[in-house]
Amino acid sequence: MAQKIAIGGDHAGYTYKSMLKAELTALGYESKDFGPDSEESVDYPDHVHPLAKAVIAGDAQLGILICGSGNGVAMTANKYQEIRAALCWTPELAKLAREHNNANILCIPARFVTEDVAREMVKVFLETKFEGGRHLNRVNKIAAC
């Protein structure tokens, strides 16, 4: 069974979301789309909260959020103790977010990266495993109690 990836964002990320859904299928993943369904203006928290909850519940193994700057979706997702949403703009940052921080949501700034960079970040994020070891203790200290 294919790993399920949650994907969503806002109107500024809609075009990239559509493109990345096709990329996920090509890479052998199943995607669950949390919207939006068009480029009409929306409030990103309406799409981020359900996506983050799906990742927490295990309904999706990882998540991808896309908005204009990536900041709004990252800030919203990171309100949840169990979420480690990483705003990335290069494949190297996406790799480190998984390896060192065990990020479970990749946040993409659609207005600041090309489609090719977004595709590569997604591929790297999904293929990279958490290293654990010296990073595990640090990751365990991220959530506020």
Residue 93, Ramachandran bin (φ over 0: left; ψ between -120 and 50: alpha; else beta): alpha
Question: What's residue 101's pLDDT?
Answer: 97
Q: Residue 145 pLDDT > 80, yes or no?
A: no
Distance CA 106, CA 103 (A): 7
How would you list the strands of the sheet with 30-33, edge to edge?
30-33, 4-9, 62-67, 105-109, 85-87
Q: Residue 144 pLDDT > 90, yes or no?
A: no
User: Has 100 been annotated as catalytic?
Assistant: yes
pLDDT in tens, 41-97: 999 999 999 999 999 999 999 999 999 999 999 999 999 999 999 999 999 999 999
User: Has 67 been annotated as catalytic?
Assistant: yes
Question: What's residue 92's pLDDT?
Answer: 98
At 41, the amino acid letter reads S
pLDDT in tens, 2-37: 799 999 999 999 999 999 999 999 999 999 999 999
User: Are the C-beta atoms of residues 9 and 46 closer than 8 Å to each other?
Assistant: no
Question: What's residue 2's pLDDT?
Answer: 76
Question: What's residue 1's pLDDT?
Answer: 62
- Which residue in the list 100, 107, 135, 145 is annotated as catalytic? 100
- Which residue in the list 11, 47, 49, 67 is annotated as catalytic? 67
Question: What's residue 23's pLDDT?
Answer: 96
Distance CA 54, CA 31 (A): 12
Residues 6+ apart with CB under 8 A from 46: 35
User: Are the C-beta atoms of residues 108 and 119 closer than 8 Å to each other?
Assistant: no
Q: Residue 119 pLDDT > 90, yes or no?
A: yes
